[in-house]
Amino acid sequence: MFKVKVHILLKDDVLDPQGKTVQNALDHLGYKGVSEVRIGKYIEFFSAETDDKKLKESVKDMCQKILANTVIEKFEYAVEKI
Amino acid sequence: MFKVKVHILLKDDVLDPQGKTVQNALDHLGYKGVSEVRIGKYIEFFSAETDDKKLKESVKDMCQKILANTVIEKFEYAVEKI
Q: Who among B39, B45, B48 is closest to A37 (CB)?
A: B45
> Please, which pLDDT band fits residue B14 given cuts at 50, 70 and 90?
very high
Q: How large is the average pLDDT for residues B25-31?
A: 94
Say if B78 is an interface residue toward chain A (CB within 8 Å): no
pLDDT, tens only, B41-58: 999 999 999 999 999 999
SS3 A28: helix
DSSP chain B: -EEEEEEEEE-TTS--HHHHHHHHHHHHTT-TTEEEEEEEEEEEEEE----HHHHHHHHHHHIIIII--TTTEEEEEEEEE-
Put simply, the answer to whether A44 touches B8 (Cβ < 8 Å) is no
| CATH code for position B18 | 3.30.1280.10
* Domain total in chain A: 1
**A74 - beta bridge partners?**
A9
| ipTM computed for the complex | 0.90
Average pLDDT by consecutive 10-residue portion of chain A (82 residues)? Answer: 96 96 95 95 96 95 95 96 92
Put simply, the answer to whether B34 touches A45 (Cβ < 8 Å) is yes
Q: Domain limits at A33? A: 2-81
* Per-residue pLDDT at A12: 94
Put simply, the answer to whether B26 touches A62 (Cβ < 8 Å) is yes
